[in-house]
Amino acid sequence: MDALTVQASSDRTTGTGLAGKEVLVTGGTGSFGRKFTEIALREAGPGRLVIFSRDELKQHEMRIGGFDHPRLRYFIGDVRDASRLKRAMFGIDIVVHAAALKQVPACEYNPIEAVMTNVIGARNVIDAALDAGVEKVLALSSDKAVNPVNLYGATKLVAEKLFVQSNAYAGGTGTRFSCVRYGNVVASRGSVIPLFIQQRRNGFVTITDPRMTRFWLTLDQGVRFVIQCIDRMHGGEVFVPRIPSMKITDLAEAIAPDCKVEVIGIRPGEKLHELLVGEDEARNTVGIDDLFVVQPLHSWWSSDNWKGARSLQDGFRYSSDSNSHWLKIEELRDLVDDLVSSGE
């Protein structure tokens, strides 16, 4: 599958799962939330879209920045506040849980804060959704939840377990919980592309280790993948997209070809390579043309939910350094130029 195939796959019709639905997005003023709002309003036709976030300034900037739609609502609140979440979910059909503390060094330095937002916040979202009778909850996870080596990854692993097992708490109520798991989103706030673009003005870029590889996913692809998974979820799955890999040195060459590269060393809690499906959980994972589905090992899970999907070979692992699909420097340069020109 080449880069054009991946792009075409991610740009296909998103489906009708959001049409006419009351949708709430936690962390809705973040990079993902803004792109989700843009695409959902333009293509998916929700009846109401609620932006739930804790920063009034970001909500104001989002509204005056073009997100002032009659179907949009802005709700100030923090996922740490269970009562506020319950109020926000009144009448909601679908929740996309994107709120998180996600900067690895910040989580390492502020571990209790990371747990409060990423773990206790996940519990609050689950409890509020169950009490409100929400139909579907899809939570955003991370590659760092697989064999975690940092606190952020550990909190995301716990959050995944909470959302998957909450299908048992839901019982026959009809509320269903699933997760999507993918790697770093290119050009999102705090990612390496904005940093490289800023650094090249001074004639140098910094990388932590020249051996480093990463999966590639744009905001647009991530949002479309989430919307597709809302359509397809039964409750209990962890969805993983099939996406290309890149070398960090190739990305630096694509963005700043004439700049000096300074190697500064791996930061605390940072991995050389991303892992999206580990060997142990691969035994419970099935493959479909455009994604992997990690299935839960619980008594309430039906083996017929993904009947006909392909089992993975013994010892399979989906890692950024052993991926079969790599982006070349020219492809990276074209994609980065597209991102910059589109304002992402």
Strand extents, DSSP E, 64-175? 72-76, 94-97, 136-142
Closest CA to 9 of 246, 228, 210, 317: 228
Annotated catalytic residue, options 21, 35, 144, 247: 144
Tokens of 22: 């009351």
Which residue in this structure is represented by tokens 């803004």?
Answer: 34
Q: Give the C-alpha separation, 43 to 286, whole Å.
A: 29
| 133: region left, alpha or beta (phi > 0 left; psi from -120 to 50 alpha) | left
Would residue 102 show up in a list of annotated catalytic residues for this protein? no
Q: Are 68 and 38 spatial neighbours (Cβ–Cβ below 8 Å)?
A: no
Q: Give the C-alpha separation, 194 to 111, whole Å.
A: 26
Print burial letters for 123-140: b (CB count within 10 Å at least 16), e (below 16).
Answer: bbbbbbbbebebbbbbbb
End-to-end CA distance of the chain: 25
| H/E run at residue 40 | none
Annotated active-site positions, please?
144
